[in-house]
Structure 1
Amino acid sequence: MAMANNKKQCFVCNKDKIIYSCSGCSKKFCLLHLNEHLQSLNEDFNTIINDYDQFRDQINKKQPFSSSMKQINQWEKNSIELIQQTAQRYRNVLIEKGRKDLDKLKRKFHAITEKMKKVQKENEFNEMDLNYFKDQLMEMKKHSENQMEMNSKENPQIFIEKLSRRVIQKLILRKWRQNGSTICGGNGRGGKLNQLSSPEGIFIDNHRNIFIADVGNHRIVRWKRNENQGTVVAGGNGRGNGLNQLDWPTDVIFDQQNNSIIISDCGNRR
């Protein structure tokens, strides 16, 4: 504050007195009202200090990112539950598939051995019969070894990849409103043209045609927009390694420029 040498009008009382200027607001006060002004400033400053103290208490009590942490914890819980459910479902699929393959191999083995017993009992066999039984045994051994190799090396990786994709898809779908509509399949598991069996990879072209890797049916199916059934465009001739067959195809891409289909034929490793 600076004291003036001449009398001037006070901002508050409007009387001519010796006045003092406030460097903050640039207003001029007499001594009495200057003291009142300073007291008011002190009170305002104390109010600000009190507000700071209250905010400090809020900071000390506040848990960092409490709302976000709750959301993350809930997401973690939901994700773990979904992973466990999906993993169990695929365990069951793997067990069932292995059981069916083993039953099929046992039935074939039983049929061949019964035939061998019959030939041996009748004591009527030649080199052609012996070669046939040898070839059948080698074929069954090869099938058994290939099946064990797929189960121990490749299939677990396939199922893990499927599991990961399914979990991610379901986590995304959980964020959407549940008002979707079925555009392909939805008629139970099966091999008819209006059915699918364990569908995996999909591709949608510029005409909105949907190409589906129908894994369980060992085929690629194309569904045109608003159609109630699909068209087999690759495979569909049973599981196998022929050029017109597929074995657990997991993904598909339609090359529109060359009008060709690129398929990940997982079971045939091609």
Structure 2
Amino acid sequence: MASARNKKPCVKCPKNAGIATCGGCQAWFCTKHFIEHRQGLGEAMERIGQQHDDLHKDLDENNIGYSLLSQINAWEQTSLSRIQEVAEKARTDLARYIDEAKTQLAQSLNKIKNELASSRASDDFTEIELKQWNAQLEKLGRMLEKPPSIDIVEDDQSQSLIRIIQRKGI
């Protein structure tokens, strides 16, 4: 009788006595529930094995880093688009500046042309005026080669368009 009192009940059905202990969870089971418990453990083992096989397949197919590579490709396209936008704006601005400089040069040349024509027609000019016209033409020639108000510079104050990829510390 003493041995009957030391028996523990089955964790699944308290009315039946537990006759076997699971070495993992330390629970007591009757015969029927012990078999079910082992079947559940077997199914869990199968799921883990399948998960292992799936991961191994992904490793073999070189899927490691695919999402990171996708991010780099997207970053590259975005960066290229931004660079192209900035370059197009720079071209447009430069064309506008060149047109303005050409207009100013043309106006200055027309003024000199009119002065030359007037002075020629009246035969009323001196060496001083010739030197002034020559100096003005030389100055306009230098402006034609490189307009003084146009220069291409990099803006050190703005944020870089190109970002780098860095590895996080381990």
Shared fold (TM-score, shorter chain, > 0.5): yes
Distance 2:25 2:53 in 1: 32
TM-score, normalising length from structure 1?
A: 0.41
Structure 1, unaligned runs of 5 or more: 1-5, 169-270
2:107 aligned residue: 107
What letter matches 2:84 in structure 1? Answer: Q
Distance 1:54 1:20 in 2: 29
Which one of the candidate residues 41, 48, 51 is aligned to 1:45? 41
Which one of the candidate residues 50, 69, 73 is aligned to 1:54? 50
List aligned pairs for 1:71-86, cutoff 5 A.
Answer: 73-74=73-74, 76-86=76-86
* Count of matched residue pairs: 149
User: CA 1:14/1:102 → structure 2, altered by over 3 Å: closer, same or farther?
Assistant: closer
- Post-superposition Cα deviations, 1:42-79, rounded to whole Å, max 9, x if no partner, equal 32331221121332355345955666666665554444
Mapped contact 2:58–2:64 kept (Cα < 8 A): no
What letter matches 1:96 in structure 2? Answer: R
Bigger proportion of residues as helix: 2
Percentage of identical aligned residues: 19
Mapped contact 1:10–1:28 kept (Cα < 8 A): no
Distance 2:161 2:27 in 1: 70
Distance 2:54 2:105 in 1: 72
Bigger proportion of residues as strand: 1
User: CA 1:111/1:25 → structure 2, altered by over 3 Å: closer, same or farther?
Assistant: closer
- Post-superposition Cα deviations, 1:129-178, rounded to whole Å, max 9, x if no partner, equal 12221321233234334417x75xx32x34xx49x76979xxxxxxxxxx
Instruction: Report deviation, 1:105.
Output: 0.7
- The structure number with the bigger radius of gyration is 2
List aligned pairs for 1:4-153, cutoff 5 A.
Answer: 7=3, 9-11=6-8, 12=10, 13-14=16-17, 23-26=23-26, 33=31, 37=34, 39-40=35-36, 42-59=38-55, 60=57, 63-64=63-64, 73-74=73-74, 76-147=76-147, 151=150
TM-score, normalising length from structure 2?
A: 0.58
Distance 1:52 1:122 in 2: 107
User: CA 1:133/1:145 → structure 2, altered by over 3 Å: closer, same or farther?
Assistant: same
Where relative contact order (Cα < 8 A, 6+ residues apart) is larger, the structure is: 2
Instruction: Report deviation, 1:101.
Output: 0.4
Instruction: Report deviation, 1:112.
Output: 0.8
Instruction: Report deviation, 1:119.
Output: 1.8
Distance 2:133 2:23 in 1: 113
Structure 2, unaligned runs of 5 or more: 11-15, 163-170
User: CA 1:49/1:25 → structure 2, altered by over 3 Å: closer, same or farther?
Assistant: closer
Instruction: Report deviation, 1:24.
Output: 4.3
1:256 aligned residue: none
Mapped contact 1:83–1:167 kept (Cα < 8 A): yes
